[in-house]
Amino acid sequence: MRYKRKFWIKFPIIIVIIFYIMLFCNLPDISIQSLANWNTFYQCSNMSTQDFTIINDERWIRIGNVFYTSAIYMHDEKQPYIRVIGIQPTSKGFFQKIFCQLWYKSTGNEAKSISVAAILRAMPEHRERRYSGSYIDCLIPKNAEVFAVSLAGEQCSKHLNSIPVVNHKQRTKQYAVCVTPLNYKYSNVHQLVEMIEFNKILGAELFIFYNHSTNSNVDKILKYYRQQGLVEIIQWHIPVKVDTWPQKSKPEIHYFGQLPALNDCLHRNAQRSTYVVFQDLDEFIIPRKVITGTI
């Protein structure tokens, strides 16, 4: 009986520990699907297409202490949603009320707007910098063809800058390569060409580069491959202090926002490519045995 009492004394503690693990582990499936039951969509009946402007130049938009740059349609069978990629302060307990302003086409092809509270979560790795990557998730009604989204501090705000929603409905590529942000006025054209051509031999069909800063000679190479349909370039001028050489001040985010860039690339291409890999320019995937054809 003594052992049994000890077990029942410890049992509530175990339950509390499990609860906190579930609370702080940032499990995306639990967050999206459970919150779908209580998040309310508010129809913005007084809105028209004159009340927003779609920004297509990959700039960062600020809402309070949060910055955001892209939006991707997440094809979740149970609960579709829009994932906005941004950055937020890493301070413990940070919270900011944000609403997603979603634009979609009605049955009559008329643009309409709905508003819903955003689900804001920090990406888990920040290396003790002031900012970390951020997921800003917006639940959407099923069968709603959302084409643009903006973030606001209140429901149904007018005169907002909206960003287009990336929505790949089918896979058209087999093998895509996401590359860490180019930085420090990157100028090594030989390394760049070597990396692209070697991966082409392995079957890579698409390279996605995030450009913080490059030299003009690299810009010419990227333009050449882009004209061939092999390269996409995402301008990545993240609006906080980054690494410099020589170092002038402490960077406010880890390595040019590497984590939000790679997360953006993953979600942007998950529905477009069967395989998505992450690589630095000095990294190569080496097959361990002879194979025929491509993956």
Asked whether 58 and 235 are in contact (CB, 8 A), the reply is yes
Q: How far apart are CA 239 and CA 222, in angstroms?
A: 24
State residue 192's pLDDT score: 98
Q: Any alpha helices (H) in the chain, and if so which ranges?
A: 2-24, 28-35, 189-201, 216-227, 258-269
Q: How many CB atoms neighbour CB 253 within 10 A?
A: 24
The CA-based angle 90-69-161, given to 5 degrees, is 120
CA distances to 47, 146, 210 from 151, rounded to whole Å, are 15, 14, 23
* Predicted confidence (pLDDT) per residue in 180-208, tens digit: 999 999 999 999 999 999 999 999 999 99
Q: How far apart are CA 121 and CA 10, in angstroms?
A: 32
For residue 33, the SS3 value is: helix
CATH 3.40.1260 given to domain 173-279: yes
**pTM to 2 decimals?**
0.84
The percentage of residues in the chain with a pLDDT greater than 90, rounded to a whole number, is 65
* Three-state SS annotation for 99-142: EEEEEEECCCCCEEEEEEECEEEECCCCCCCCEEEEEEEEECCC
Asked whether 148 and 164 are in contact (CB, 8 A), the reply is yes
Q: Name the segment(s) of the chain with CATH classification 3.40.1260.
A: 173-279
* Predicted confidence (pLDDT) per residue in 245-279, tens digit: 888 899 999 999 999 999 999 999 999 999 999 99
Give the HSE-up count for residue 116: Cα atoms under 13 Å, Cβ half-sphere.
Answer: 24
Average pLDDT over residues 69-87: 94
